[in-house]
Amino acid sequence: MRFTFAPAALSSGALLDLPWSLPLAQWADARIVLPRHAGLHRHVVRFLEDGPRVWAVKELPEELAVREYHVLQWLREVGAPCVPLHGVVLDRGEGVEAALITGYLEFSTTYRALFSEPRSIHPHESLLDALVQLLVRLHLVGVYWGDCSLSNTLFRLDAGNLAAYLVDAETAEIHPQLTSGQREADVMQARESLFGELLDLQAGGVVGESLDPLVLADHVVCRYHELWEELTGDWVFAIGEERKRIAQRVRRLNDLGFDIEELELLDAGPGKLRLRVTTKVSESGHHRGLLHRRTGLVAEENQARRLLNDLESYRAHLEQRAGHPVSDVVASSRWLERVFDPVVASIPPELADKLDPVEVFHEVLEHRWFLSEQAGADVGTSAASASYFATVLPHVSDLLTSGRSPTSA
């Protein structure tokens, strides 16, 4: 038996106690829990709960397990969105395949659940956009996926939109840089899988006849090319415009959730300049990084944008009361203490597993806006959260997120 554990798993000796020499299908451990909803899969995958931790264990041939382990390790190193890696177990005994251990991705859901969930009326747009974002991020770090599909992706709510995480990397390859041919092959493979998956959903009656799988699959290809061009294409302009153009470019990339690693200005013929950018991919998400530095909160990109806006309006309120400017540090800590934390602390315990607390905060802000519009005056966050916990959160479908663990209510 050979165990290789990623640092995150080292603290747990419980992983060593599992009956590794038996095939996963024969495990009868009381800690095995059932997922509320899992994607389509080839291999045996089981979920195990050990105190606050939940692991997903997948059984697969050694070569694939090792490859997947390395890809996930690399993705984690560069901060690309994927399931947390815990370890790999090899040489489990005669006729028993290797096992890959990942951390259960909290509050994630599958595309099938999202398409079945009536609350999100048009899930396909944000779902497919999230998938495109993920594929582009992988390509920027030189990862060829080889099996990009909705089944191999998990989704988390992100301020009403979705953020996509890679869950299955057994076909992926790491390269110093991808050629356009490799990227194109990956996109075409994704198109084919998506088309099949959407047809399948239609055949199963999960989505209506009005949705055209071919149009959507082609839309993904277009969105991919548009985003890739936005992130990596050169801009050519007249000498003298450089300051304005650089500022525009930085803002545009930040709006898309990306940061710039390097900017280059090159000669582009008489009177012209070429602006070349290298997009930074470590630590996905411009606003995410900003929010984390200011508050220590971990959020998805759109959630972070939303929270930062709220923090800024709270700062304006503080400044107006104080009659002088308020620093980042003071504004952030007051906002956490007086606005964010009280909302999260007041989530009723029986509803705590419905949505990620950051998403709850975002929804409370939405609800506050809605109530304030109705009342013709600002109702305040406390009243809005009380009303939200009484009237909205209890009705959020369990399909929308899987909570902190697969079996939690």
Ligand X SMILES: Nc1ncnc2c1ncn2[C@@H]1O[C@H](COP(=O)(O)OP(=O)(O)O)[C@@H](O)[C@H]1O
Q: Does 403 bind ligand X (CB under 6 A)?
A: no
Q: Please, where are the H alpha helices in 204-300?
A: 213-232, 242-255, 286-295
In this chain, which of 9, 24, 56, 114 binds ligand X, going by CB under 6 A? 56
Element (H, E) at 63: helix 62-78
By CB under 6 A, the residues from 101 to 140 that bind ligand X are 102-105, 108, 110
Q: Does 170 bind ligand X (CB under 6 A)?
A: yes
Q: Does 53 bind ligand X (CB under 6 A)?
A: no
Q: 341 in helix, strand or coil?
A: helix
Number of residues that bind ligand X (CB under 6 A): 21
Nearest approach in angstroms of CB 113 to ligand X is 9
Return the residue matching tokens 């939109």.
Answer: 161
In this chain, which of 88, 99, 157, 167 binds ligand X, going by CB under 6 A? 167
Which of Mg ion, ligand X, none sits in contact with 142, Cβ below 5 to 8 A by type? none
Binding segment for ligand X (CB under 6 A), chosen from 125-133, 150-158, 237-245, 338-346, is: 150-158
Both tokens of residue 259? 């940061």
- Catalog residues that contact Mg ion under the rule CB under 5 A: 41, 152, 168
In this chain, which of 2, 41, 244, 272 binds ligand X, going by CB under 6 A? 41
Binding segment for ligand X (CB under 6 A), chosen from 9-17, 146-154, 236-244, 246-254, is: 146-154
CB-nearer residue toward ligand X: 110 or 284? 110
DSSP string, 92-137: -STT--EEEEEE--TTEE-HHHHHH-TTSSSHHHHHHHHHHHHHHH
Q: Does 149 bind ligand X (CB under 6 A)?
A: no
CB-nearer residue toward ligand X: 105 or 400? 105
DSSP string, 121-132: SSHHHHHHHHHH
- What gap in Å lies between CA 392 and CA 160, rounded to an integer? 14
Q: 84 in helix, strand or coil?
A: coil
Q: b/e for 99-129, b at 16 or more Cβ within 10 A?
A: bbbbbbbbbbbbbbbbbbbeebeebbebbbb
In this chain, which of 6, 9, 38, 78 binds ligand X, going by CB under 6 A? 38
Which of ligand X, Mg ion, none sits in contact with 311, Cβ below 5 to 8 A by type? none
- What gap in Å lies between CA 83 and CA 352, rounded to an integer? 22
Binding segment for ligand X (CB under 6 A), chosen from 20-28, 41-49, 117-125, 377-385, is: 41-49
Return the residue matching tokens 């899988």.
Answer: 193
Nearest approach in angstroms of CB 298 to ligand X is 17
Report how far Cα 9 is from the mean position of its chain's Cα atoms: 21
Q: Which residues bind ligand X (CB under 6 A)?
A: 38-39, 41-43, 45, 56, 58, 83, 102-105, 108, 110, 151-152, 154, 167-168, 170
